[in-house]
Amino acid sequence: MKIVSYNVNGIRAALTKGFAEWLKATDPDIIGLQEIKAEESQIDKTIFEDMGYHIYWYPAAKKGYSGVAILTKIKPKHVEYGVKHQFYDDEGRILRADFDGFSFMSAYFPSGTTGDIRQVFKYKFLDDIYGYSQDLIKKLPNLILSGDYNICHKPIDIHNPVSNKNSSGFLPEERAWMDKFTGSGFIDTFRLFNPNPHHYTWWSYRAGSRSKNLGWRIDYHMATEPLKEKIKRSITLPDALHSDHCPIMIEIDKY
C-alpha cells in the first residue's frame, strides 16, 4: 500500500503543472494534501473520482489560504475534520481518516516565518497537537501523522544549519519539540531507511535553491511504534515539480 503526503501550495496551481497526470502515474492508495488553498467547489472533482479516489476536503475559513485534504481509494470507516479547536480548525490544519487497522492524518503545521505573532501561535499549536496526539494514540495506536510540520528536526535536515540557527523552522525550541514528539511513540519513517544528508522536501523559489538542492526537510510521515514492522519503504520524490515542496511516500503492508 502506497501512502503519499504532499504540500501542493495551491491545488489549482498544481493541476496546471501536471499534478493530475503525476498522481495517475504514481497511483498511491492514499494521498494527504496540504495547502490546498481552495474550496471543494473550486476544483473539478471528477479528475480524482475518475482515478477511483474518495475525496475528503477541509479548507480554511479564509479563502485561498491553508487547508488540507485526503484522497483515498480505500473508503474510510470514519473521517474526522479538525481537532475541535476553533483557531486551528478555522485554518483547516488537520484531517484524519480511519481505516481497518490504521489511521492516517493529513496535517499542515503553522509557519512562524511571518513574525512573532505567528511564531507564538505555532508554539501553542505544537503544545496542543502534542497533547492531542498523545490522547489519540491511546484510542488509535496505529496512527500515521503525515504532512508539512514546518520544522527541520536535525542539522542533517537542512542545507545550512549554522546560518539558519535563528530561523523559524529550525529554532532550538522547535527542534526540542521534535525530540519530544519522536520520543513519545512516533517514528520519523524516512530515517528508518535513510541516514544520509541532502534529502529535502522544500526549497525556496529564490536563487535557484532547488536546482542547487539548498533545501529543508520539513515534511514527514510520522508513524507510531506498533506500525514499525509494517513499513517497508519511505522516500522523498524530488522530481515532482508542482510545488515548492516535493511529495513524500511510504509503503506499508496491506491490512
Render pLDDT for 172-219 as a digit per residue (tens, 0 to 9).
999 999 999 999 999 999 999 999 999 999 999 998 999 999 999 999
**Residues β-bridged to residue 108:** 148
Element (H, E) at 122: helix 116-139
Given pLDDT bands bounded at 50, 70 and 90, which one contains residue 254? Answer: confident
pLDDT at position 253: 94
Give the integer Cα–Cα distance in Å for 38 and 48.
Answer: 15
Q: What is the pLDDT of residue 143?
A: 98
Here the cell at position 85 is: 479547536
**pLDDT value at position 172?**
97
What mean pLDDT value characterizes the chain?
97
CA atoms within 13 A on the CB side of 240: 30
In the residue annotation, 157 being an active-site residue is answered as no
Q: What share of the chain is helix, strand, coil (3-state, %, to 5)?
A: 30, 25, 40
Q: What angle do CA 76, 98, 3 make, to 5 degrees?
A: 80
33: pLDDT strictly greater than 80: yes
Instruction: With a cut of 90, say whether residue 114 has pLDDT above it.
Output: no
Q: Is the pLDDT of residue 243 over 90?
A: yes
What domains are there in the chain, each with its CATH number?
2-252 (3.60.10.10)
Give me the pLDDT at residue 115, please. 86
**Angle made by CA atoms 249, 133, 175, in degrees to the nearest 5:** 70
Q: For residue 42, what is the DSSP state?
A: G
Predicted confidence at residue 246, as pLDDT, reads 98
Averaged pLDDT for residues 70-89: 97
pLDDT band at 15 (very low <50, low <70, confident <90, very high): very high
pLDDT band at 108; cut points 50, 70, 90: very high
| DSSP strand pairing (219-224 vs 143-148) | antiparallel
Q: Among 210, 231, 211, which Cα is nearest to 221's? A: 231
Catalytic residue among 29, 98, 148, 157: 148
pLDDT at 89 over 80: yes
Q: Of all residues in the chain, what percent carry a pLDDT higher than 70?
A: 100
Q: From residue 74, how far is each of 30, 103, 128, 168, 196 by CA, in Å?
A: 8, 12, 30, 37, 33
User: What would the mean pLDDT of 120-146 be, rounded to a whole number?
Assistant: 98
Q: Residue 255 pLDDT more than 90? A: no
Cell of 91: 485554518
